[in-house]
A and B are shown apart, each in its own frame.
Chain A
Amino acid sequence: MFEARLTQGALLKRLLDSVKELVTDANFDCSETGISLQAMDNSHVALVSLSLRAEGFNPYRCDRGFSLGVNLNSLNKIMKCAGNEDVITLKADDSSADSLCLLFENSSNERVSEYELKLMDIDQEHLSIPETDYDATVMMPSAEFQRICRDLMVVSESVTIDVSKDEIKFTAEGELGTGNVKLKPTSTIDKPEESITIELGQTVSLQFSLKYLSNFTRGTPLSDQVMLCLSDNMPLLVEYKMDIGYIRYYLAPKVGD
């Protein structure tokens, strides 16, 4: 038997909203430690890895590990039927999981709706992502990162990110001309969510597709801060951390001339 009840249902709505453009079908791997998902976009240029800890649900019950093969478009349609204040419960019979039950209860509990989503068999390759000691780790307000991606997209569909000890610089070059945004670390200790920090092993400069980065910023509502991790000739990691877990986006760089 699998049952996971989340009082902040809105969080699940936002999470699914932040991956729906990137991934169509995916397996939700459920175990006693929680729910995780890993999937690449169709072009295999980006990968999303999502993890929700069992402690974030109450109750959480997963008698044995199993996978829920889900079409995310269909799941998103059903999630639209949940109110932002609703408590959301996911239930499945872990032996013959051919459908996922979703329960939406409003706060005063006089309105309860129940949906069943047909599950699919999805055989997806699972990539092993080694723990990496990145050349540069940058923390910044997630809204700031979203704005930089949106602004520089008017100039080009690629952005070069340069990180040095005391600056992260985003540069775009295109037909109309060029644009760049430079951020310096802040020391505002009174407003931690506004802070910008740079942890530098060595300077790094990489180029990425802004189309994908803009897509990743759908995770902005999940967290005040976003973490960018860069290493030479490695995919960029963009992480939005929540109390219950995290959503990580990986993007392969553009390399060579």
Chain B
Amino acid sequence: LKKQHKITDFYSEE
């Protein structure tokens, strides 16, 4: 099974 990533793994805070 593949692991669900998070948006915050790709986009950082402004």
A residues with CB within 8 A of B: 40, 43-47, 125-130, 158, 207, 209, 234-235, 250, 252-257
Q: How far is the CA of A47 from the CA of B12 in the complex (A)?
A: 12
Of the A-B pairs whose beta carbons lie under 8 Å apart in the complex, a sample of 30, sorted by A's number, is: A40-B8, A43-B6, A44-B6, A44-B7, A44-B8, A45-B5, A45-B6, A47-B11, A125-B13, A126-B13, A127-B8, A127-B12, A128-B11, A128-B12, A128-B13, A130-B11, A158-B2, A207-B2, A235-B7, A235-B11, A250-B7, A250-B11, A252-B4, A252-B5, A252-B6, A252-B7, A254-B3, A254-B5, A255-B2, A255-B5
Chain B, Cβ-Cβ closest to A126: B14
**With contacts A125-B13, A252-B10 known, what are 6 further pairs, Cβ within 8 A?**
A44-B7, A127-B14, A128-B14, A209-B4, A235-B7, A256-B2
Give the total of B residues in contact with A, Cβ under 8 Å.
14
Residues of B within 8 A of A254 (CB): 2-5
Contacts of B2 in A (CB 8 A): 158, 207, 254-257
Q: Quick one: closest A residue to B8, CB to CB?
A: A44
For the complex, what is the distance from the CA of A44 to the CA of B14, rounded to whole Å?
A: 16
Nearest B-chain residue to A38, judged by Cβ: B14
Question: Which secondary structure dominates chain A's binding surface?
Answer: loop
Q: Which of B1, B10, B13, B14 contacts A235 (CB 8 A)?
A: B10
Looking at the assembled complex, report how far the CB atom of A133 sits from the nearest CB atom of chain B, in whole angstroms.
15
B2 and chain A: residue at smallest CB distance: A254
Pair B7/A127 contact, Cβ less than 8 Å: yes
Interface centre among B1, B10, B12 (most CB of A within 10 A): B10
